[in-house]
Amino acid sequence: MNDEQWRAIVECDPSCDGRFFYGVLTTGIFCKPSCKSRTPKREHVRIFASADEALHAGLRPCKRCQPHRADWRSPDEELALRVKQLIADCFPEPLTLGEIASRLHVSPYYLQRCFTRLMNCSPAQYLVHTRIEAAKRLLADTRLSIAEVAMQVGFRTGAYFAHVFHKQTKQTPTQYRTCAERNEQEWP
């Protein structure tokens, strides 16, 4: 085992998952590098290239990180996916961090911390991004007024929508619609 592999085990580094697995010889269990189980003593650890290799060596898969299942997601990853799905389904509604947390039966603090760590943006930023993408589609494909688009994607006023839209896209909604119409006319 090299120092990089040991660092990944100690720091529970998810970027090393799939590159190698580690077995703890004293317990007979093998894990992914990102497993949150107690850090073993270095001299008790053996590195494996695959889960099958660890199984053939007589080790059992960890019940926490389930290294033998390729489709397995951590509870935090599952939560992030549920947040993304809830936002995709309900973005026109007035969603707050507290409302999302309540619907998913977790604390707002835990939800914020978990989602931000995994997605590199807060739930609020993801919600705004989702609303702006939906607004772009409506602006390009419909003749709805700016205020109607704002209401359909979850903004309370056209003015606030225009402010957020400009901040995200560097264009006003009207400029975006004009560019979309121009591009549509250029294509046969």
Kindly report, residue by residue over 103-155, the tens digit of the pLDDT.
999 999 999 999 998 888 999 999 999 999 999 999 999 999 999 999 999 99
Across the strands, what pairs with 48?
21
**Residues 7 and 53 occupy one common structural domain:** yes
What is the total count of domains within the chain? 2
Q: Name the residue range of residue 19's domain.
A: 3-61
**Residues 53 and 81 occupy one common structural domain:** no
Last residue of a domain, one of 15, 34, 61: 61
Report the Cα–Cα distance between both ends of the chain, in Å, rounded: 60
65 is catalytic: no
Question: 63 is written with which tokens?
Answer: 């019940």
Q: Which residue among the candidates 16, 31, 62, 114 is catalytic per the annotation?
A: 31
71 pLDDT tier (thresholds 50, 70, 90):
low
**Residues 84 and 177 occupy one common structural domain:** yes
**Ranges 52-56, 72-76, 144-148: which has the least confidence:** 72-76
Q: How far is CA 179 from CA 2, 112, 175, in A?
A: 54, 36, 6
**Residues 81 and 141 occupy one common structural domain:** yes
Question: 175 is written with which tokens?
Answer: 């400029």
- Report yes or no on 68 lying in a domain: no
Output helix, strand, coil percentages for the chain, rounded to the nearest 5: 60, 10, 35
Dihedral sign computed on CA atoms, order 151, 102, 133, 142? negative
